[in-house]
Amino acid sequence: MPQNTPSLRELEHASAFVDRHIGPNDAEIAQMLRVVGHDSLDALTDAIVPATIKSPAPLALPGSLTEVQALAKIRTIADKNTVLRSFIGQGYYGTHTPNVILRNILENPAWYTAYTPYQAEISQGRMEALINFQQMVADLTGMEIANASLLDEATAAAEAMTLARRSSRAKSDVFFVHDAVHPQTLALLRTRAEPMGITLQVGTPAEALEADTFGVLLQYPDSFGHIGDHKALVEAVHARKGLVAVATDLLALTLITAPGEWGADIVVGNTQRFGVPFGFGGPHAAFMACRDAYKRSMPGRLIGVSIDTEGNPAYRLTLQTREQHIRREKATSNICTAQVLLAVMASTYAVYHGPEGLTRIARRTHRLAAILAAALRGAGVDVGEHFFDTLHLRNVDAPALQAKAVAAGINLRLIDSRALGISLDETTTREDIVALGAVFGARVDIDALDASTADALPAGLLRQSAFLTHPVFNTHHSEHELLRYLRTLSDKDLAMDRTMIPLGSCTMKLNATAEMIPVTWPEFANIHPLAPADQAQGYKELIDGLEAMLVECTGYDAVSLQPNSGAQGEYAGLLAIRGYHASRGQSHRDICLIPDSAHGTNPASAQMCGMTVVVTKTDANGNVDVEDIRLNAEKYSDRLAAIMMTYPSTHGVFEEEVVEICQIIHKHGGQVYTDGANMNALVGVAKPGKWGSDVSHLNLHKTFCIPHGGGGPGVGPCAVKSHLAPFLPGALVEDGVRTQGVGEGPMVSAATFGSASILPISWMYIAMMGAAGLRRATQVALLNANYIATRLAPHYKTLYTGRNGLVAHECILDLRPLEKTSGIGAEDVAKRLIDFGFHAPTLSFPVAGTLMVEPTESESQAELDRFIDAMVQIREEIQAIEDGRLEREDNPLKHAPHTAAQVSASEWTRAYPRELAAFPLPSLKQSKYWPPVARVDNVYGDKNIMCACIPVDAYKEDVEA
């Protein structure tokens, strides 16, 4: 081989994914290491991470695969799934994702890499899509207000139960559940009722008439397809001061009377069939709508309309609480990450089809159901009388017919040995009806039956009211119109396709395209969650593999992939602890210690598990106060259930005493819950399962590359040591896919494997990084954070540092001293960053008046420098205020962000130049993001709550004025 020619191996290494995922190259890493004063990544790691927790050996994972190799490997896994025609129903229905939505939302990083819309000015596009969602749900359900998505229908029903309990004036602790709700809904109600002391009574609507309850949950149409008239029941429940919650189906509501019109107080359901594939159970956006009177108590996000400083309408997350979990132990729900991307898809499906299109889809589905019913009746099969899309076949040899259907490539719902369910949907074809008929020995002449068969909707419950009358649902029906509408919306927003999003604790790292590709493969997308196990062998292999990878990364023994978010992972982990204590006769253990720096979901989850939260202190260096923990553990020794601590802490430091803390808790009979949201500082370096922790949740949508989607989807795996494994969430059905991570505990999500269809993302990430790549990612995450902290040290104080003056993977910039000298607060800096084209770091968490910066390993040195330049310029502007060169009230920070309309207006009356407003750095003249609105007025939005689409004349008046 000639001397200067690289070897084959070197050439192959140059195509490694690791170097695409990690931002800085070798030369930049070397230079950045010099800035932070360390010789190598290993030396830096040693200086940061306490020796007591460091892993002695590298991760036992295979070597890294290239993108091409990993895609080829996951292709073979996908091919082990068998996609049959699904008529199973039970809350999941076939749907055609309009291709314009598939490519321009689901496969578009402008949508899927966005963050939760806390920074209103750079989130107007996705908030418009979400307010469309709220309007769509409110219209179809006939309710006054709807939220912007929940995790799944079953958890939404559980939230409805707790909302009813909070809002009802009835004295009872009993919640009545219609015996024809979906089985997964009943499972989740059982999970959530028990720790809160709610008794469930399950029965028929007629039995509900007599029951003494604080609320009732009905399903309409019910799980078996029947459509009941519940008006008398609603009156009876209201007379006893109870509330009525209804689980429903939005497509059916285009044809039948909305629950809000017959008196429902709360309405929940799933929007999956509005263009979101089965995905073996998720992710899909659920919804909740309620009467206006209950809006302050409603869980989840609520988008509202406020105004900006120019008086123009602008969207924002409304109500002071924004999200329930922020109220900590007083929270009524722990929902944080929800299902924004899927809600955007579903609302855009309604925008695309409009009221007529949706009605046509519903009518066609119903016609096919009526035709099939007629054919089956002709063959002597007993089907229901009133239905929308689902037939309930009774007195049949169900297992034999189900097997016959499978042989014909068709999945039916096996209800019991004598009953089957058949649910039709948008994708059902004439050929499907013929094939379904054949299973039952019926010959189907579709057109003849169409002519001779009446509709099967109950005459007294036909929908009369209009819905989706707002112009947004009636103008974007051509593909060009929709394409441009979507582009207009996404252009308003800042997502990771335009800028780093340095949000501390949120780990906004690269979501590589190769990781995303398998998600929309039909073999992963089109499998019903209740498809027989032998059709989902690809999923089994994928899930087994991912569970094993995560076990290796964390040092635990078993991992449940069921939780749909980090907060649901917390809930699952605490339930496992609860189940464990109970199994040892220690049910009285109910105290959960939580340091005051914890994320709000921690106390929220603890109280949902019926635990009492005891908050422990932080010392002056930002560490959890070990003495305070010791005192509380002693004080509550016989009641101690658990400690919940984040590691490294949300203060961005590796506490030295973590091993000792685990020992203290164990000595007093408690369990250690480590919030794993910060695993990006640990993978390949240290394992919580090995230093004494018993359980963690991970956030696959943080550390393991599932994109944040504008606020979801997410996966929050619950990882446990072996003694807790039996208490992990169980499965919905006995004969479904089983993996090591499926336990016998209560279910926390509707589907056994939660949001299964996005698991390929994390699988691909780990496969392409390999053991060495994962460790290097962690090390560069530490380097990038310390590089920012070091470079900004002359300008801003970093609030907390750990050993050797270093931070972990994030740093907290303290702006409180500047507030005193200049009147500029953290929020002003966050808004000014928008003028530089940046998404702000995490604002005022975990410490008020600070910004928490987490760059992640995926940001190149150039991007870090761009951010540092912006922060330095901002510090100079603050200095100018301190020096009197800029006015205290009229300066570019107080007025940030600046819109194009403001800086190009004929009149400019500000006390600083326009150019400083718009182009504070010369580089911005080449590439400039213009926020669509000026700073949004939070107080106005909370005083004037308006959570529906903006009427068109609101804009018209503005133009005329």
Ligand X SMILES: *Cc1c(COP(=O)(O)O)cnc(C)c1O
Q: Which helix (H) or strand (E) holds 11?
A: helix 8-13
Tell me whether residue 221 or residue 689 sits nearer to ligand X (CB atom). Answer: 689
Token output for 5: 């020619």
Please spell the DSSP secondary structure of 227-281, one letter per residue: ----HHHHHHHHHTT-EEEEEEETTGGGTB--GGGGT-SEEEEE-TTTT---GGG
Q: Which residues contact 747 (CB under 8 A, 6 or more apart)?
A: 154, 184, 187, 188, 191, 562, 729, 730, 731, 732
Tell me whether residue 353 or residue 697 sits nearer to ligand X (CB atom). Answer: 697
Residue number with the shortest CB distance to ligand X?
A: 566
How many angstroms separate the Cα of 36 from the Cα of each of 501, 778, 796, 804, 806? 22, 16, 16, 11, 9
Token output for 462: 């036909």
Strand, coil or helix: 530: coil
Tell me whether residue 290 or residue 335 sits nearer to ligand X (CB atom). Answer: 335
To which residue do tokens 């809006």 refer? Answer: 295
Q: Which of 244, 326, 336, 329 is nearest to 290 (CA)?
A: 244
Tell me whether residue 275 or residue 714 sits nearer to ligand X (CB atom). Answer: 714
Question: Shortest distance, CB of residue 712 to ligand X, whole angstroms?
Answer: 8
- How far is Cα 246 from Cα 240, in angstroms, rounded to an integer? 18
Binding mask 778-817 for ligand X (x = CB under 6 A): ----------------------------------------
Stretch that binds ligand X, among 31-39, 563-571, 614-622, 783-791 (CB under 6 A): 563-571
- How far is Cα 628 from Cα 645, in angstroms, rounded to an integer? 14
Q: Would you count residue 599 as binding ligand X (CB under 6 A)?
A: yes
Phi, psi of 522 (to 5 degrees): -60, -30
Tell me whether residue 281 or residue 716 sits nearer to ligand X (CB atom). Answer: 716
Q: Are 780 and 857 in contact (CB under 8 A)?
A: yes
- How far is Cα 927 from Cα 906, in angstroms, rounded to an integer? 23
Q: Which residues contact 72 (CB under 8 A, 6 or more apart)?
A: none
Considering only residues 660 to 679 of the shown chain, the ones binding ligand X according to CB under 6 A are 675, 677
Question: Shortest distance, CB of residue 691 to ligand X, whole angstroms?
Answer: 18
Question: Shortest distance, CB of residue 841 to ligand X, whole angstroms?
Answer: 13
Q: Which of 668, 594, 606, 665 is nearest to 638 (CA)?
A: 668
- How far is Cα 759 from Cα 771, in angstroms, rounded to an integer? 19
Total Cβ atoms within 10 A of residue 225: 26
Tell me whether residue 643 or residue 771 sits nearer to ligand X (CB atom). Answer: 643
Question: Shortest distance, CB of residue 697 to ligand X, whole angstroms?
Answer: 7
Question: Shortest distance, CB of residue 568 to ligand X, whole angstroms?
Answer: 7
Stretch that binds ligand X, among 58-66, 269-277, 564-572, 862-870 (CB under 6 A): 564-572
Question: Shortest distance, CB of residue 745 to ligand X, whole angstroms?
Answer: 19
Q: Would you count residue 649 as binding ligand X (CB under 6 A)?
A: no
Tell me whether residue 33 or residue 317 sits nearer to ligand X (CB atom). Answer: 317
Question: Shortest distance, CB of residue 336 to ligand X, whole angstroms?
Answer: 3
Binding mask 488-507 for ligand X (x = CB under 6 A): -----------------x--
Considering only residues 677 to 696 of the shown chain, the ones binding ligand X according to CB under 6 A are 677
Question: Shortest distance, CB of residue 249 to ligand X, whole angstroms?
Answer: 27
Tell me whether residue 248 or residue 339 sits nearer to ligand X (CB atom). Answer: 339
Q: Would you count residue 646 as binding ligand X (CB under 6 A)?
A: yes
Q: Would you count residue 714 as binding ligand X (CB under 6 A)?
A: yes
Q: Would you count residue 565 as binding ligand X (CB under 6 A)?
A: yes
Strand, coil or helix: 866: helix
Which residue among 135, 324, 347, 601 contacts ligand X (CB under 6 A)? 601
Question: Shortest distance, CB of residue 529 to ligand X, whole angstroms?
Answer: 21
Q: Would you count residue 650 as binding ligand X (CB under 6 A)?
A: yes
Q: Are 402 and 389 in contact (CB under 8 A)?
A: no
Question: Shortest distance, CB of residue 30 to ligand X, whole angstroms?
Answer: 31
Sheet hosting strand 419-423, strand order edge to edge? 390-394, 419-423, 413-416
Stretch that binds ligand X, among 144-152, 524-532, 560-568, 659-667 (CB under 6 A): 560-568
Tell me whether residue 281 or residue 566 sits nearer to ligand X (CB atom). Answer: 566
Tell me whether residue 84 or residue 594 sits nearer to ligand X (CB atom). Answer: 594
Tell me whether residue 141 or residue 650 sits nearer to ligand X (CB atom). Answer: 650
Stretch that binds ligand X, among 355-363, 414-422, 565-573, 904-912 (CB under 6 A): 565-573
Q: Would you count residue 755 as binding ligand X (CB under 6 A)?
A: no
Question: Shortest distance, CB of residue 483 to ligand X, whole angstroms?
Answer: 31
Q: Which of 812, 809, 811, 807 is nearest to 858 (CA)?
A: 809
- How far is Cα 558 from Cα 258, in angstroms, rounded to an integer? 44
Question: Shortest distance, CB of residue 775 to ligand X, whole angstroms?
Answer: 22
Tell me whether residue 540 or residue 599 sits nearer to ligand X (CB atom). Answer: 599
- How far is Cα 579 from Cα 723, in angstroms, rounded to an integer? 11
Which residue among 110, 237, 341, 567 contacts ligand X (CB under 6 A)? 567
Q: Where are the beta strands (DSSP E) in 618-745?
A: 640-646, 671-675, 695-697, 718-720
Tell me whether residue 373 or residue 606 sits nearer to ligand X (CB atom). Answer: 606
Question: Shortest distance, CB of residue 687 to ligand X, whole angstroms?
Answer: 18
Number of residues that bind ligand X (CB under 6 A): 15
Binding mask 324-353 for ligand X (x = CB under 6 A): ------------xx----------------
Question: Shortest distance, CB of residue 565 to ligand X, whole angstroms?
Answer: 4
Phi, psi of 462 (to 5 degrees): -80, 135
Question: Shortest distance, CB of residue 646 to ligand X, whole angstroms?
Answer: 5
For residue 166, count CB atoms less than 10 angstroms from its CB and return exposed for 0-12, middle for 13-18, buried for 19 or more.
Answer: middle
Q: Are 231 and 397 in contact (CB under 8 A)?
A: no
Tell me whether residue 411 or residue 858 sits nearer to ligand X (CB atom). Answer: 858
Tell me whether residue 253 or residue 677 sits nearer to ligand X (CB atom). Answer: 677
Strand, coil or helix: 466: coil
Amino acid at 802: G
- How far is Cα 633 from Cα 629, in angstroms, rounded to an integer? 6
Q: Which residues contact 734 (CB under 8 A, 6 or more apart)?
A: none
Tell me whether residue 549 or residue 677 sits nearer to ligand X (CB atom). Answer: 677
Question: Shortest distance, CB of residue 600 to ligand X, whole angstroms?
Answer: 8
Q: Would you count residue 716 as binding ligand X (CB under 6 A)?
A: yes
Q: Would you count residue 457 as binding ligand X (CB under 6 A)?
A: no
Strand, coil or helix: 559: strand
Question: Shortest distance, CB of residue 720 to ligand X, whole angstroms?
Answer: 17
Tell me whether residue 128 or residue 675 sits nearer to ligand X (CB atom). Answer: 675
Per-residue buried b or exposed e for 401-413, using 16+ beta carbons within 10 Å of the residue's own CB: bbebbbeeebbbb
Stretch that binds ligand X, among 353-361, 389-397, 441-449, 562-570 (CB under 6 A): 562-570
Site of interaction with ligand X (CB under 6 A): 336-337, 505, 565-567, 599, 601, 646, 650, 675, 677, 699, 714, 716
